[in-house]
Amino acid sequence: MLRALAILLIALQAHPAPAESQARCDGRDLIMALPAPERRTLESRAAAQPHAEGLLWRASRGNTRITLFGTYHYQHRKTGAHLDRLKPMIEAAQTVYLEMSPEDQAAFRKQLAEDPSTMFITQGETLPDLLGPEDWQDFAAEMEKRRIPSVVAAKFKPLWAAMMLGVGPCEARNGAMNASGIDALLGEHATQTGVETRSLEDFAQVLGRLDDQPLEKQVEMIRLTLAWPGDADDMSHTIRTRYLAGQVALTWEYSRLVSLEHGGPTAAADFARLEDILLTDRNRAWVEKLLAEVPGSQVLVAVGAGHLPGKAGLLHLLEKAGFTVERLPL
C-alpha cells in the first residue's frame, strides 16, 4: 500500500510516458521461493480471508449496483485489456468513484507545485543528516538506480523516501512513475464519455496522518528497507504476478510476513498502525460515503486492489451493510 501511494504521489507531478516505452520487468516469484511449509501456511492464511481472490466484483442491494475493480497503479501487460473490459461499465455508470478524481488530481498537482513541503523537507535537517553518511550513501545509490538524482532524493520526507524504495528499480526506469496507469485511464475515459467522476476521499488528509508519524519511526523505516536482504525487482515482479492472478489477499499476507520478519522489534505494531491508516480506516470511510451517496444508482468504484479482500475490506463491509456480492469475470 505504501508502494502504491508512492507511485500515485509521483504520478501527480510527472508527465505520462507512452506505453511502448515501458519495458517488461521480470524477476523471481518470492512467494514460490518460500520453503513449502511456510508457503502453504501463507496460502492458508490468505484463503481464510473473505473474498481473497478476484479483481472485479458487483455489490447489489435493491436497485443499487456498485461495480468494484481492484487496480494496480501503473501499467502492466494487461492494462489495455482491463480498460477495454471496464469501458462499457464506465459508460453504463452514473458516477465513477476513484481514490482521487481527475479534477482533484489536477488540484493536488497544483498544490504540490506551490507547496513542495507536502513531499519534501523545506527546512531543517535533510536525509543525509537524518540517516548518517553510510545509510545515506546506500539510499542515494538506490535512488540513482531509480533515476532519481541524489540532490532530489536528499529532500524527500523520510516516509516518502521509504516508499520510493518500494518501487522496483526496473519499473522506475521504465515508466512506473507516471500517470498512465489504469486509475488515470479510467478517469480519462469517464471524462471523455461525460460520466461524472468523484474522489472517495481528501487525499491531503491521508498525507497528514502519515506526516504525523514520529520522525524517528519514518527514518527507521528507510533503514529497515535498505537492510532487507531481498531484491526490489523480485518484489515488484511478485506483486505484479500475483495481482494479475487475482491473488490479492495472498500478496497482502506476504507483505505482512516480510514486514514482521525484517521490521525490527516493533514490526507488528508498526504494520498494524500503517494498515489502519492506509487500509482499514479508509475502507470504512469510503463505504460510509458510498452508502450516503449511491442508493438507487449504478456506479463504478476503482481503487487499489488491496482494499477489496479481508474482514476490513470493501467487499465484506458492503456485505455487512446488506449488499449481495458476486465476483465477475475479468
> Using 50, 70 and 90 to split pLDDT, how confident is the model at 18?
very low
pLDDT over 50 at 147, yes or no? yes
Whole-number Å distance between alpha carbons of 280 and 267? 18
What's the pLDDT at 176? 66
pLDDT over 70 at 3, yes or no? no
pLDDT over 60 at 22, yes or no? no
What's the pLDDT at 271? 87
Contact predicate 77/245, CB 8 Å: no
What's the pLDDT at 253? 95
Helix intervals (H) in the chain: 2-11, 36-47, 79-92, 102-114, 127-131, 133-145, 150-153, 158-164, 169-173, 182-192, 203-211, 215-227, 232-244, 248-262, 267-275, 281-293, 314-320
pTM of the model: 0.89
Q: In sequence order, which residues have a C-beta less than 8 Å from that of residue 28 and are 6 or more positions away?
A: 231, 234, 237, 238
- 35 versus 177: the higher-pLDDT residue is 35
Identify the weakest region by mean pLDDT among 9-18, 38-47, 95-104, 134-143. Answer: 9-18
- Three-class secondary structure of residue 324 per DSSP: strand
pLDDT digits (tens, 9 = 90+) for 198-254: 999 988 788 788 778 888 888 998 998 898 899 999 998 999 999 999 999 999 999
**pLDDT mean over 4-18:** 41
Please state, for a pLDDT cut of 70, what percent of the chain lies above it.
91
> Using 50, 70 and 90 to split pLDDT, how confident is the model at 14?
very low
- Return the DSSP state at 20: G
Contact predicate 160/119, CB 8 Å: yes
pLDDT over 50 at 17, yes or no? no
pLDDT digits (tens, 9 = 90+) for 152-211: 999 999 988 888 888 889 888 876 665 468 999 999 999 999 999 999 998 878 878 877
pLDDT digits (tens, 9 = 90+) for 284-309: 999 999 999 999 999 999 999 999 99
Mean pLDDT, the chain, as a whole number?
89
